[in-house]
Structure 1
């Protein structure tokens, strides 16, 4: 089972929310992502929520490439 410390990845206003609420939250709920950066993600990729960002195909492709790179090390 995967675990994550929500205090480390979420803005403190979102850290006590349940997972479905966090996934539906704007990307600015993630620690270090500003409202302006969230607006830019929406403009560039149509990203509105944390779930949208998680499912962004370009991010998944990049993660797969990075995994291939570390597999041989």
Structure 2
């Protein structure tokens, strides 16, 4: 199972939360994502939570393309 340094990817207020809490958190819980960014993600993709952001098909497509590029 992959591990991740939560202090690196989460706003300080969310670093000690459980994974279910983090997945249900607003996207602003991610370090570097502002409230305005969250508003724009909601407008563009209907995304309001970290879990929903992970499921955006465009995000998945970009990740797949990046993985293909790294494999070359």
In the other structure, the counterpart of 2:53 is 53
Query: Using the alignment, how far apart are the partners of 1:66 and 1:15 within structure 2?
Result: 27
Q: Which has the higher helix share?
A: 2
Tell me the alpha carbon deviations over residues 14-60 of structure 1, each in whole angstroms, 9 at most, x when there is no partner: 00000000000000000000001000000000010000001111010
In the other structure, the counterpart of 1:6 is 6
TM-score of the superposed pair, with normalisation by structure 2: 0.96
Runs of 5+ consecutive residues of structure 1 not aligned to the other structure: none
Deviation at 1:66, TM superposition (A): 1.1
Runs of 4+ in 1 over 2 A off after TM superposition: none
Query: Using the alignment, how far apart are the partners of 1:41 and 1:51 within structure 2?
Result: 13
Query: Using the alignment, how far apart are the partners of 1:12 and 1:66 within structure 2?
Result: 28
What is the alpha-carbon root mean square deviation over aligned residues? Answer: 0.6
Runs of 5+ consecutive residues of structure 2 not aligned to the other structure: none
Name the SS for the 1:31 alignment partner.
Answer: coil
Deviation at 1:69, TM superposition (A): 1.3
Query: Using the alignment, how far apart are the partners of 1:67 and 1:9 within structure 2?
Result: 20
